[in-house]
């Protein structure tokens, strides 16, 4: 049997993780000079409280090579192979550290998802399905690597406050977004984040327009599975998006997950994205 492991950034639900015996390696969340373990002793609600009520800054820190080596050492001895899937190497040094740790073992395979959140979660889920079916580590790696260019990941952000506090947008951009009620979409293209289409208006209106834009090329989308991932987005909006994905666009399986601490610390509450597999490569942002 093959063991599947992944960073906590993959944002899969506890149910999926448990059902498919996926081991999650957590990143560190720094709140000021205090370190917390993602999903263990800090949650997105904690982050929102620290930022919004206490005015603190929350940042993420990569998993170091020693911690990866501890995980790989445990499972490489118990399984025929270990396949680990990382957040994009453009976003974090996690992948580099995992590669370094894997050099100590001859049956550990490390994959750069070139994505984040349930964009990489799609790959982890597919790998776990294959592992459960008895495929070898080599077969799983080949299939996952082939999938990577076809993952379409994007989010709409309700407020730029968190990006501003994290140093990822300027004060002028923040002010302009507030005055014009702009809610930008963020898209992942070839492992990097790009600003996509900018929507104006209330959150629900913007998200539903974003959804229609993403589904405008429905013929090029694999409708077998789609992730609807959000950071404390109002339940009525989540339900409307879910209903539309099922009834209007015909997806077989709509999996709703809540984003973990990494996405939450960068994007803030009200963020929502639909993440799916295309039938052709994603090579540009949607504008």
* Secondary structure, 3-state, 81-129: EEEEEECCCCCCCHHHHHHHHHCCCCCEEEEECCCCHHHHHHHHHHHHH
- Tell me if the pTM is above 0.85: yes
CATH class of the 2-148 domain in this structure: alpha beta
In this structure, are residues 275 and 226 in contact, taking their beta carbons and an 8 Å threshold?
A: yes
Please state the domain extents for the chain: 2-148, 150-278
Q: What are phi and psi of 200, to 5 degrees?
A: -120, 140
Residues β-bridged to residue 36:
29
pLDDT per residue of the chain (287 residues) written in tens, 0 to 9: 999 999 999 999 999 999 999 999 999 999 988 999 998 999 999 998 988 888 888 888 999 999 999 999 999 999 999 999 999 999 899 999 999 999 999 999 999 999 999 999 999 999 999 999 999 999 999 999 999 999 999 999 887 665 545 544 433 343 334 434 678 888 898 888 787 888 988 999 999 999 999 999 999 999 999 999 999 999 999 999 999 999 999 999 999 999 999 888 888 889 999 999 999 877 666 65
Please give the helix or strand (H or E) that residue 264 lies within, else none.
Answer: helix 261-267
In this structure, how many other beta carbons lie within 10 angstroms of the beta carbon of residue 49?
Answer: 12
CATH number of 150-278: 3.30.1180.10
């Amino acid at each position: 049997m093959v063991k599947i492991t992944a960073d906590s950034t993959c944002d899969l639900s506890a149910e999926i993780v448990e059902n498919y015996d996926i081991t999650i390696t957590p990143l560190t969340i720094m709140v000021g000079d205090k370190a917390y373990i993602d999903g263990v002793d800090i949650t997105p609600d904690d982050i929102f409280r620290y930022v919004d009520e206490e005015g603190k800054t929350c940042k993420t820190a990569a998993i170091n090579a020693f911690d990866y080596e501890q995980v790989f050492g445990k499972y490489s001895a118990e399984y025929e192979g270990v396949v680990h899937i990382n957040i994009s190497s453009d976003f974090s040094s996690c992948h580099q550290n995992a590669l370094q740790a894997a050099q100590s073992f001859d049956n550990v395979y490390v994959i750069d998802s070139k994505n984040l959140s349930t964009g990489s979660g799609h790959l982890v889920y597919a790998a776990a399905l294959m592992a459960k079916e008895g495929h070898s580590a080599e077969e799983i790696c080949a299939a996952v690597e082939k999938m990577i260019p076809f993952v379409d990941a994007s989010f709409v952000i309700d407020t730029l406050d968190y990006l501003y506090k994290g140093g990822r947008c300027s004060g002028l951009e923040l002010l302009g977004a507030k005055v014009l009620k702009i809610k930008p979409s963020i898209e992942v293209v070839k492992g990097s984040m790009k600003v996509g289409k900018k929507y104006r208006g209330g959150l629900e209106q913007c998200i539903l327009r974003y959804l229609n834009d993403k589904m405008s090329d429905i013929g090029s989308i694999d409708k077998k599975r789609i992730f609807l991932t959000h950071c404390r987005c109002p339940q009525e909006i989540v339900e409307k998006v879910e209903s539309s994905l099922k009834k209007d666009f015909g997806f077989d399986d709509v999996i709703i997950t809540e984003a973990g601490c990494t996405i939450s610390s960068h994007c803030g509450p009200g963020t929502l994205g639909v993440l799916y597999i295309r039938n052709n490569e994603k090579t540009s942002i949607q504008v």
